[in-house]
């Protein structure tokens, strides 16, 4: 399957959003000003506006920020959302460079998975030594608590329209030999 979102598509949304901000007088477009809707050095890290626009443009999905002040209990279980998009504060170069990192948490085949690109492979949220099939969701809740306590933001992607189900091919009736 081809990706739904591409770097080129996200770059186009970032450029369009920046142009809209310039038209509204929110961005000057000066020589030393850069498009804050994307990383200045081309490493992705798009603004929440770009990601929300991309999800909403896809048509069948909505994007909602979770009110983290209400705690993890207010976040619906993963079987009620398509996924949770996380924006986590990070620092690099021994704290000299502060940034934010996006990643997704999603349920796949009954398992809650951390799909962070910084991981070697998707990781299931299970307690150490626990079998993946015995996950209770507590490890995921603890992960979300730590994110919230660390200043992270959480967004839910929900399906707004039912996905079309593939229709069976109509059976062909045998030709009747009548001309």
48 close to 17: Cβ distance less than 8 angstroms: no
pLDDT in tens, 76-91: 878 888 889 998 888 7
Rounded to 5 degrees, φ, ψ at 168 are: -65, 145
Distance CA 78, CA 140 (A): 10
**DSSP 8-state secondary structure symbol assigned to residue 131:** -
pTM of structure: 0.72
Give the model's confidence band at 118: pLDDT under 50 very low, under 70 low, under 90 confident, else very high.
Answer: confident
Strands 83-92 and 123-124: unpaired
pLDDT in tens, 12-70: 888 888 788 777 777 666 655 666 667 665 666 788 888 888 888 877 788 888 888 99
Rounded to 5 degrees, φ, ψ at 5 are: -115, 135
For 14-53, the DSSP string reads HHHHHHHHHHTTS----TT---TTS-TTSS----HHHHHH
């Amino acid at each position: 399957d081809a990706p739904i979102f591409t770097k080129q598509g996200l770059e186009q949304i970032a450029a369009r959003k920046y142009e809209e901000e310039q038209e509204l007088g929110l961005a000057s477009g000066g020589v030393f000003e850069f498009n804050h809707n994307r990383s200045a050095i081309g490493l992705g890290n798009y603004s929440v506006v770009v990601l929300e626009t991309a999800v909403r443009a896809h048509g069948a999905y909505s994007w909602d920020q979770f009110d983290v002040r209400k705690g993890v209990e207010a976040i619906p279980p993963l079987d009620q959302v398509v996924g949770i998009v996380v924006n986590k504060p990070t620092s690099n170069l021994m704290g000299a460079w502060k940034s934010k990192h996006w990643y997704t948490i999603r349920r796949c085949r009954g398992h809650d998975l951390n799909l962070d690109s910084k991981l070697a492979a998707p990781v299931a949220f299970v307690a150490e030594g626990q079998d993946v099939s015995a996950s209770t969701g507590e490890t995921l809740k603890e992960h979300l608590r730590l994110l919230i306590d660390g200043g992270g933001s959480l967004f839910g992607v929900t399906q707004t329209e039912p996905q079309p189900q593939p229709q069976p091919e109509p059976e062909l009736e045998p030709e009747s030999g009548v001309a």
